[in-house]
Amino acid sequence: MDCLFCKITEGSIPSQKVYENERILVFKDIQPAAPVHVLIIPKKHIASMNEVEEQDLPLIAEMHHVAQQVAKELGVAESGYRLINNCGPDSGQAVQHIHYHLIGGAKLGALTG
Ligand code: 5GP
Ligand code: ZN
């Protein structure tokens, strides 16, 4: 499958890994929007939030749990952070493999449309 994040999962495209288990990978965003900017992805290919099925719900829950752990490890749990999922064209989703951005390490601007 021609999917950038599947290639990162398989290791054919390198990434700066922050956390990994059998189901989930966390790596640094190549174009960080803040001092802390990592991407949390499932190793299973799911194109977007729209394609999440009931059987995937434990995986999605685990991504939130991993976000909590990684935020602690990266030192932003107390200062605060944002967990963002872009889904579909209006959101600007560029990579069609579901991911959360975990962004922090600085005062973040207000969300706008
Ligand atoms: P989206 O716009 O789909 O929510 O976010 C995709 C993110 O993937 C962007 O923040 C972009 O900087 C990041 N990205 C794109 N290509 C690569 C890559 O090859 N490696 C890494 N680490 N991040 C990437
Ligand atoms: Zn994929």
Q: What is the CATH number of the domain that holds 32?
A: 3.30.428.10
Which residue from 6, 8, 12, 31 has its CB within 8 A of the most atoms of ligand 1, so it is best to mutate? 31
Closest ligand (CA of 3)? 2
Distance (Å, whole) CA 22 – CA 44: 10
- The pLDDT tens digits of the residues spanning 41-73 come to 999 999 999 999 999 999 999 999 999 999 999
- For residue 111, being part of any structural domain is answered with no
- For residue 113, being part of any structural domain is answered with no
Given a cut of 80, is residue 110 above it in pLDDT? yes
Confidence at residue 14, expressed as pLDDT on a 0 to 100 scale: 98
- For residue 109, being part of any structural domain is answered with no
Q: Domain count of the chain?
A: 1
- For residue 38, being part of any structural domain is answered with yes
Question: Is 99 designated active site?
Answer: yes
- For residue 110, being part of any structural domain is answered with no
Mean pLDDT score across all residues of the chain: 97
Confidence at residue 65, expressed as pLDDT on a 0 to 100 scale: 98
Domain range enclosing 79: 4-104
Mean pLDDT of 5-17: 98
Distance (Å, whole) CA 59 – CA 40: 12
Read off the pLDDT band of 16 (50, 70, 90).
very high
User: Which residues fall inside 5 Å of ion ligand 2, going by CB?
Assistant: 3, 5-6, 45, 97
Read off the pLDDT band of 111 (50, 70, 90).
confident
CB 12 near ligand 1, within 6 Å: no
Backbone angles phi, psi at 54, to 5 degrees: -55, -40
- For residue 61, being part of any structural domain is answered with yes
Given a cut of 80, is residue 112 above it in pLDDT? no
Distance (Å, whole) CA 98 – CA 49: 6
- For residue 29, being part of any structural domain is answered with yes
